[in-house]
Amino acid sequence: MDRQINHPTISEAEIIRPTHVEVNLKAIAENYRKVKKHVAPAKVIIILKANAYGHGLVRIAQFIQELKADYLGVAVVEEGILLREKGITVPILVLGGIWGNQVPLFLKHNLTITASSIDKLKQIDEVAEQMKIKAIVHLKIDTGMERVGVHYYNAEKFLDAAYKCKNIEVEGIFSHFASSDAADLTYTRLQLERFMEVLNYFAKHSIETPMRHISNSGAILQLPEANLDMVRPGIILFGVYPSGEVKRTIEVRPALTWKSLVVYFKVIKPNHPVGYSSSWKADKNIRAVTVPVGYGDGYLRSMSGKAEVIIRGKRYTVIGTISMDQIVVNINNDSAYNGDEVILLGSDGENEIKCEELADWAGTIPYEILTNINTRVPRVYKE
């Protein structure tokens, strides 16, 4: 195993925190190969934003580079710079918009820029001329998200401006689906239609079409006609489906197991409240254990009264309000001992707690569960 140290002043031998995440790199490799085969001959840009969906940005990027990935995608320039500083040489697209004086950072670190307006194009072109560097850009078209990007119905002027810039190489053009993980793909197909209409510009002007990409995890699973030249898998790379509605046309397996240990055992008497706000009381003597994980680690407080864990292969209920650093688990009349393993997310024997379950308990989506696992939780990598 390879442990990522989140606190550089602490040596590996000194990390003794029982709450940690195990990441199965083999599962990620298998998921990647399945996606790549499913979308061939399209290229694959692996999306690693938000700390690689909680799996650890740097180590996952290093591993993906070993798999000879075509491209990596991140959300913000800081993520791209960190990867370059850690020796990642694969092309990296920063999907988020640029602002202020960030352009020189993109060019200095050989990062591909998302250009989302005519003004941004001019800014990139001017800085690239000053630095005597050719800027690599992907043009962002808004087909129905209303976040960043030029509206599809205004795209022609935007594309005209892009090809007038002497210091810019238009490598790609892309958009983003709003609801490709839904059972009803009507709006997704409309977005694809809008994007394809924009792409007619290149044939009309006898310009070589740049790399086209719009397909995210949901579309990869459900809309093969959207694969185009490149696809952008995110959460499915890590073995989690983007929604309960999506068709599971690729069988992926979770790469992340979230674990802790029992650190305290007690018997709780009737009418003795558990946790903050004294919201839970037993009506008889119960056995309970304390586990050192809480909302400060990303084990969300909104799961209070619903969450379950696995101890010794059995499911047990978390009782009381989830604290910042600890939870209390009702083990009924069973036995558990200090040092017993606790599965917060993952499987033990025939029992499994899925990311989707945590999301249901918290009233959110699997993406938020994974990306909320705090960096104070050590990541351990299984080769």
Residue 6: the pLDDT is 42
For the chain, give the percent of residues with pLDDT over 70. Answer: 96
Instruction: Tell me the domain boundaries of the chain.
Output: 41-238, 256-382
Q: Distance between CA atoms of 242 and 356, rounded to whole angstroms? A: 9
Tens of pLDDT along 50-68? 999 999 999 999 999 999 9
**pLDDT above 90 for 314:** yes
Per-residue confidence band for 383, with pLDDT thresholds at 50, 70 and 90: confident
CATH topology for 256-382 is: Lyase, Ornithine Decarboxylase; Chain A, domain 1 (2.40.37)
Per-residue confidence band for 22, with pLDDT thresholds at 50, 70 and 90: very high
**pLDDT above 80 for 4:** no
Q: For the beta carbon of residue 75, count every other beta carbon within 10 angstroms.
A: 14
Contacts of residue 248, defined as CB under 8 A and 6 or more positions apart, other chains included, come to: 221, 241
Residue 16: the pLDDT is 65
- Determine contact, residues 213/226, Cβ cutoff 8 Å: no
Instruction: Report the chain's mean pLDDT, rounded to a whole number.
Output: 94
The CATH number of 41-238, from 3.20.20.10, 3.40.50.720, 3.20.20.70, 1.10.10.10, is 3.20.20.10
**pLDDT above 90 for 353:** yes
Tens of pLDDT along 205-241? 999 999 999 999 999 999 999 999 999 999 999 999 9
Q: Is this prediction's pTM over 0.85? A: yes
Residue 192: the pLDDT is 98
The C-alpha angle 12, 13, 15, rounded to 5 degrees, equals: 70
Q: What is the mean pLDDT of residues 104-118?
A: 97
Position with higher pLDDT, 100 vs 249: 249
43 as an active site residue: the answer is no
**pLDDT above 90 for 345:** yes
Residue 295: the pLDDT is 98
**pLDDT above 70 for 7:** no
37 as an active site residue: the answer is no
Position with higher pLDDT, 2 vs 331: 331
Per-residue confidence band for 3, with pLDDT thresholds at 50, 70 and 90: very low
**pLDDT above 70 for 13:** no
Give the tokens for residue 362.
């918290």
**pLDDT above 60 for 285:** yes
Position with higher pLDDT, 99 vs 142: 142
Per-residue confidence band for 306, with pLDDT thresholds at 50, 70 and 90: very high
Give the tokens for residue 264.
């305290």
Residue 2: the pLDDT is 47
Catalytic residue among 26, 276, 337, 382: 276
Catalytic residue among 49, 120, 140, 259: 49
Tens of pLDDT along 185-215? 999 999 999 999 999 999 999 999 999 999 9
Tens of pLDDT along 135-176? 999 999 999 999 999 999 999 999 999 999 999 999 999 999
**pLDDT above 90 for 346:** yes
